[in-house]
Structure 1
Amino acid sequence: MMTTTRPVALVTGASSGIGKEAALALIAAGFDVVGTSRDVSRVTPLDGMTFIDLDVASDASVTAAVQQVVDRFGRIDVLVNNAGIGLMGAAEENSLAQAQAVFDINVFGVMRMVKEVLPHMRARGRGRIINLSSVVGFLPSPYMAAYGASKHAIEGYSESLDHEVRGHGVRVLLVEPAYTRTGFEASSPRPDTALQAYSDQRRTFDRMMEAAIKNGDDPAIVAKVIVAAATDPKPKPRYTAGPMAGRARMLRRLAPAAVFDKQIRKLNLLAD
Structure 2
Amino acid sequence: MSSKIAIVTGASSGIGEATAGQLARAGYKVYGTSRRGAQGSRRGFEMLALDVTSDASVQAAVQQVLALEGRIDLLVNNAGFGVAPAAAEESSIQLGQAIFDTNFFGMVRMIRAVAPHMRRRGSGRIINISSVLGFVPMPYMALYSASKHAMEGYSEALDQELRTQGIRVSLVQPAYIKSPFDANQLQPDQALDEYRDLRAGLDRRVKEALQGADGPDVVAATVLRVALAAAPKVRYTSGALAGRLRLLRRFAPAALVEAGVRKDLRLDTQPSLVRSAA
1:186 Cα deviation from its structure 2 partner: 2.1
In structure 1, the partner of 2:83 is 87
Checking the alignment, whether the CA contact within 8 Å between 2:2 and 2:28 is kept in structure 1 is: no
Bigger mean CA offset, 44-53 vs 91-100: 44-53
In structure 1, the partner of 2:231 is 234
TM-score (norm 2): 0.94
Counting only pairs closer than 5 Å after superposition, residues 72-83 of structure 1 correspond to structure 2 as 72-83=68-79
Q: Between Structure 1 and Structure 2, how many residues are aligned? A: 268
In structure 1, the partner of 2:95 is 98
In structure 2, the partner of 1:37 is 34
In structure 1, the partner of 2:274 is none
In structure 1, the partner of 2:16 is 19
Q: Alignment partner of 2:267: what SS?
A: coil
1:151 Cα deviation from its structure 2 partner: 0.3
Q: 5+ residue gaps in structure 2? A: 270-278
1:114 Cα deviation from its structure 2 partner: 0.3
The separation in 1 between residues aligned to 2:245 and 2:181, in whole angstroms, is 19
Bigger mean CA offset, 233-242 vs 106-115: 233-242
Matched, 1:109 2:111: no
The separation in 2 between residues aligned to 1:125 and 1:35, in whole angstroms, is 24
Matched, 1:121 2:123: no
Q: 1:46 aligns with which of 34, 42, 47?
A: 42
1:5 Cα deviation from its structure 2 partner: 4.8
In structure 2, the partner of 1:270 is 267
In structure 2, the partner of 1:205 is 202
In structure 1, the partner of 2:160 is 163
Q: Alignment partner of 2:18: what SS?
A: helix
The separation in 2 between residues aligned to 1:176 and 1:55, in whole angstroms, is 23
The separation in 1 between residues aligned to 2:253 and 2:76, in whole angstroms, is 34
1:214 Cα deviation from its structure 2 partner: 2.4
Q: Alignment partner of 2:11: what SS?
A: coil
Q: What CA RMSD, in Å, does the superposition of the two structures yield over aligned residues?
A: 1.2
In structure 2, the partner of 1:69 is 65
1:55 Cα deviation from its structure 2 partner: 0.2
- Which amino acid letter does the alignment assign opposite residue 52 of structure 2? V
1:185 Cα deviation from its structure 2 partner: 2.9
